[in-house]
Chain A
């Protein structure tokens, strides 16, 4: 601490530049915005709103599938129970998991449902999770899981393992479609016909060319001339026919 001042030159010593870093600098508001915005945007994109292209699942869906596999013993399980189990992997509220599960069930592909799961045509909602039951469909058991080829990561509390991706042997993303609004990015994939997807898959495996367009579970007539292979800006036009039975309904 004590430097003797015998003679001159302390002007120089005062202004030597190597001492600038020693005082701490503070992250300014623009730095804060940049960092936090990227944290938030990255999370919403990667962990919440956008499905992974490899298996077609959003994280909540993947965790539901993984939990159902955990619980699978061939019998129906109460949805409330599955939701509770999913919370071991998904650090969010039970309502959002329950809603995600009902939506997944309503696609009628991966989940074998029992009870009132709601109606996509009339908009009726499903019964409460404590009433309805579910188990994995035969198709899901066959196509979605394979522990040997699954890469694992730690769950949020560090106590369990969960899959990074599920090794899905089927173009699930195209079959189910997806919709999600994240920060800066959003996604919309329309659903496709199951049989057409299988035909197209076979064609790809054989190295032949193929073309595939959206189809809807609810049926209807669709014009896909501007579909543009589903790329950004592509359009699908749906025609509805409305006829009136009586003047007064």
Chain B
């Protein structure tokens, strides 16, 4: 029996051992080799419930046991046991609608692979551009984000996203669900003022109707493409749209304005698109019954935003998750894309601070999000049979005072937590002879 006691290996002196801290890059972990048992922590299951003192076991990448310590009998000798008493366990956070792995440095065009040229890129697939060596990935893992939906942007039809797990050698082993959704940026009805031209008023988008017509034309063609005439040549774009009609692929509509949400969802449904998800949804609170009646989930991307309208609640975006929750709308929480996606937990914490029940907040970035993304059969909650994709934090992972990932597992693999940012920190802390305050890793 091996027991890894007191995982709080906060080392207050300079580390001399050859740990992962010497590495600026992350080495993907080996497959789970022995059953693992985590005991004593408060477990947030990701489905809205919590077990205060839990035992969680997993083997060969799958969760084998979840229950209250008091009422679950476990033969500890069969496991690598981690006593994580007083800590908290969460399913790995899922960041949806991110350009992680696609864009490295947003101001440098040659590091940008999220937005293909042209308006209709129904055929492009983000998975092949997903860079497992992106230096942003470890910064996500450090804060508890273990899965991502790498999402293309731009144009009217941006392309197809892929759901990846964040510990991989290349995009093939990163791929969790490829082409999970096609992304459409619904045109804005109103355009922002061009302040540099002296404007301060919004103005109607002159191309709005024409663009909507383009969408209709495209979907009309895609439907007729399903029953091809003899000798019909292959059309890659229309081919890629097939899954929308049989439900194997979701349509994620990026849209914020209430009227545009109604219009875009109605258009998509009228063409028989089976799974429609609204991404953005800034004005979703104005049309909650529409969203509920149409069973359309919303992925909120702007919790940490300013209100768009002067007359709105001073902190409306903070309150939006609570408002949708109260109205019974299905929603998940994401962030705006980019480096700040690592703050997903804190955006969720803000929602909790403004009324969303805590475990509904967790649900919105774990089990609930997995359901919206169509991967809930295998991941997202701490339930028997699901992937052991989870992490242990020494405190509340939604609060920067508590978010301190000590252990993280992706499909049972114990992954490296520290990376280049921690390396640079230690490098200079050592130079200045300051204490180093980092989790010591076992590998």
Instruction: Say whether A associates with B.
Output: no
Which chain B residues have a beta carbon within 8 Å of chain A's beta carbons? none
